[in-house]
A and B are shown apart, each in its own frame.
Chain A
Amino acid sequence: MSLPKAVEAGNAFSIQSTGSGRATLYIVGPEQVLKRDIRLGETTFFPSGSLYNAGRYLAVLTGDSSTESGSFDVIPAHKPVNLSFLARPSRLPVGLHDGITGAVYVFDAYHNLITVPTQVSFELSNPYGAVQKRVALTQDGAAWTAMDSTAQQGVDKFAARIGDVLSARVVIQVAGDPCGLKMSATKSGQALQLVTDPVRDCNGNAVPDGTIVTFTEAYSGGQSTVDVPLKRGIAEVQMAGHNGATISVASGVVLGNQIRWEK
């Protein structure tokens, strides 16, 4: 029996046998078994797509009086067809060095991992036209890179490409912690109306609505607090406004300005 040394996944191949009479040829490999009744001394042809899982295959030829066996490899196809692209995280604050990582696994048409070193291009682009590019060579079928999140929030496209094969992910860059948190106070009837300026991070990005802003009014013998979510970029609330009260504003671990209220 004459076996090929290696067969590319999905390719046609043939096996030449010797002798005469009838026999059965078995080919056993990863998740695949083929059985052919053959005439010894002839060439058995296997069409394209017969063997497609990469790995080591065992060929066993069983005749009336003898059994012969041998092995050969099915190797991944050379042409990448699928890229499994893991981009992390899908959401992060702006301005983080190497905050975004991407890892690519390169597969052929039959989802065999292509272990031949292959060049992968990574590209991170934001809606404002800024583009970061990296090139990496796969090692054992995988390539990876790290990118910086930019200073502007938005929905970025993170793509990995080999030739005309592309896999893209979305990375949402969001505003960082509030910066320069500032409020103002005005009298509203018997109460005090507190309103923040539009809340932005240190890069000027608007902090998203729903972010909690805490107003605290401390007065002689007590205090009042309210957690208010940002709405349309600002937070506003009415508080009692005790005479001589100190009113402060904060969001998370960021402190804003203080106001001393005298009626």
Chain B
Amino acid sequence: MSKGPLLAAILAGATVALVVIGTVWPVPSAVAYAGSGSLLHSSSSPEEAVANLGDEIRAQAWDKAYASLANKAQFTEPEFVHDLTGYYPSLLTYTTLDKFEVRPIHASADDAEMELKLHWATVVGSSVSTRDLHVVRNGDHWEPEWPIVKEPMVPPQVIAVNYLRWDVIYRGPGDDWGAQDVETPHVRIVDMHPIERADGVVILGELLNEDVVPAYVSVTATLLSKNQSPMATEGSFDKISHVLLPKQVTPFFIKFANVSLSDVGSIRMTPLSALVAATADPVIEIGNQELHPDPDASLTGQLINQSGQVVNVAHVLGTFYDKSGKVVWIADEYVDQALLPQTPVPFEIHIPEDLARDISTQRTVVATYSFGGSQ
């Protein structure tokens, strides 16, 4: 006898039972996200006050979050929201708060210092920002003060931009068989070597656009075994600056998880390039670059948009070299706020601690994306 109908009946019954249980006795978080309840606890301690604020930010309950602040007279609710999600379209505009952590720094009877670490889920991965909050007692409860960072204002002005722009016209479908098409940009891998890490093999390298036109580039690597049979193929994905202007160099980083370098006989590298319409604007200065040794080894600096165009997303790629000039690591970071003209924005790229001591110099490049066009 077929057991299918019996199984279907059991599954249907279990589904109905779970729906009834979830409706009659919902968990608090579900009620909160459904909008008819709250996850909030009483703000009887500084930690609870900041945790409540984190919950309200995660639920995007901006009015409640703003109302809970002790210093709301210093700024408006839109300014508070913009401080969290960006004044101009940026990575944070399309993000949600995944989780947060609250850590006490200092507390007294009437006030406290708390650290609120916000883990944002962005389209390019997790982005973490940290705010130090002053929390004050107000009667029987505590209220956090939001450390507002007001967006620097760019004075109204006209900035003349006359950098080059390249457009591409390809051959048409009716052209003769032997008719020429526009030449694909010539690119060259100027450095490449694999390294072994705990979680697999990583290929580090640099790619040069040696042509006089912009190129859209990517790099693919295929690991070949000792008998020259393909083991795996991976691409650089976003660990590369995809648009290269003439004579520009980008690092690239290709990871093969769960592969041992001792099993690899050789590596086949395939750089890909295509003509792309591009502009030489904007120019980004990467200032105050500093290498910080371990612990928490990192490269810090600031991006300064020297052009008149707002850059919505900036992707910073750092190439780290040892004393002999060999690439020892490549790391990147997306900057989660828009770059306004002439306004410095900090960045921090973390470096694995076991490699930090080998690093002597670095080279940083930045890829920028503006809504309505990219470079």
Contact = CB atoms under 8 A, between A and B. Distances in A.
A91 interface: yes
A224 B286 contact: yes
Interface residues of B, number: 38
Contacts of A86: 178
B286 A225 contact: yes
B246 A208 contact: yes
Interface of A: 83-87, 89-92, 105, 167, 169-170, 174-175, 177-178, 207-213, 221-229, 231, 237, 239-240, 251-254
A229 B214 CA distance: 12
16 contacts: A89-B183, A91-B211, A91-B212, A209-B280, A222-B289, A224-B287, A224-B301, A225-B289, A227-B245, A228-B283, A229-B245, A231-B162, A231-B163, A237-B285, A252-B208, A252-B248
B96 interface: no
Given A178-B247, A252-B248, 14 more contacts: A85-B178, A87-B180, A175-B212, A177-B210, A208-B212, A211-B245, A212-B247, A222-B301, A225-B286, A229-B280, A237-B283, A237-B285, A239-B285, A252-B247
A253 B176 contact: no
Interface string B291-308: 000000000010000100
Contacts of B25: none
A227 B183 CA distance: 25
Nearest to A222: B290
A169 B285 contact: no
B248 A212 contact: yes
Nearest to A251: B247
B371 interface: no
A103 to B, nearest CB: 8
Contacts, number: 102
A25 to B, nearest CB: 35
A85 B212 CA distance: 25
Given A177-B210, A222-B290, A210 B280 contact: yes
Main SS class of interface, B:
loop
A262 B301 CA distance: 23
Contacts of B363: 225
Contacts of A87: 180
A221 B164 CA distance: 35
B126 interface: no
A89 to B, nearest CB: 5
Nearest to A226: B285
A209 to B, nearest CB: 5
B309 interface: no
Given A91-B183, A212-B245, A240-B287, A167 B178 contact: yes
B288 A90 contact: no
A167 B177 CA distance: 12
A209 B164 contact: yes
B365 interface: yes
A213 B248 CA distance: 8
Contacts of A240: 287
A255 B365 CA distance: 17
Contact of A252 (B213, B214, B249): B249
Nearest to B283: A228
A150 B284 CA distance: 36
B29 to A, nearest CB: 46
A226 B280 contact: no
Contacts of A169: 180
A212 B246 contact: yes
B181 interface: yes
Contacts of A239: 285
Nearest to B184: A89
B178 A90 contact: no
Q: Nearest 3 CB-CB pairs, A to B?
A: A252-B247, A84-B178, A229-B280
A231 B285 CA distance: 17
A154 B286 CA distance: 36
B124 interface: no
